[in-house]
């Protein structure tokens, strides 16, 4: 898969996630050269929404800022996950296409586990298809 990746800082956790993505055979795209988290989140969101990437992974201190920025892009459903259950649920019940992680509060091995589950092929629950479709319709609220 093609994975758009961005982080506003570098540490053992970001390095571990990037290494995992490469070792798992994913093509890792770096759609932004900025170190400003709003730009990074939006760039990853655009790469996913435009079809340049299958999924995105964004990382900042809490993960929240890059998730918010990615979610500003129509068609993006970014989810902040702090454990594997949340990551699987984000895919299953929300068809999330961008994973947001904290680079300060997650240990490298935990961040890798979460990323692995998110990208593992968990399919969206057909019972949630109307709700997921409604999320796309909500782009009408954007000014």
The pTM (predicted TM-score) of the whole model is 0.95
| Cα separation, 102 vs 79, whole angstroms | 12
From the number of C-beta atoms within 10 Å of its C-beta (0-12, 13-18, 19+), residue 48 rates as buried
Which sequence positions are flagged as catalytic? 60
Domains of the chain, by residue range, sit at: 2-141
Neighbours of 89 (CB within 10 A): 17
Residue 80 three-state SS: strand
The pLDDT tens digits for 28-41 are: 999 988 889 999 99
Q: Which CATH class name applies to 2-141?
A: alpha beta
Helices (H), the chain: 12-23, 37-49, 64-71, 84-94, 108-118, 129-137
The pLDDT tens digits for 41-93 are: 999 999 999 999 999 999 999 999 999 999 999 999 999 999 999 999 999 99
């Amino acid at each position: 898969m093609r994975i758009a990746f961005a982080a506003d800082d570098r540490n053992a956790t970001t390095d571990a996630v990037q290494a995992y993505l490469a070792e798992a055979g994913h093509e890792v795209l770096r759609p932004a050269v900025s170190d400003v988290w709003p730009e990074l989140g939006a760039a990853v969101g655009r790469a996913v929404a435009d079809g340049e990437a299958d999924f995105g992974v964004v990382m900042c201190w809490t993960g929240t800022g890059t998730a918010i920025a990615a979610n500003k892009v129509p068609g993006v459903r970014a989810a902040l996950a702090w454990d594997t259950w949340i990551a699987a649920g984000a895919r299953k019940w929300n068809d999330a296409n961008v994973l947001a992680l904290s680079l300060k509060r997650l240990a490298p091995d935990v961040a890798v586990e979460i990323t692995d589950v998110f990208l593992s092929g968990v399919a969206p629950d057909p019972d949630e298809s109307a709700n997921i479709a409604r999320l796309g319709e909500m782009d009408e609220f954007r000014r």
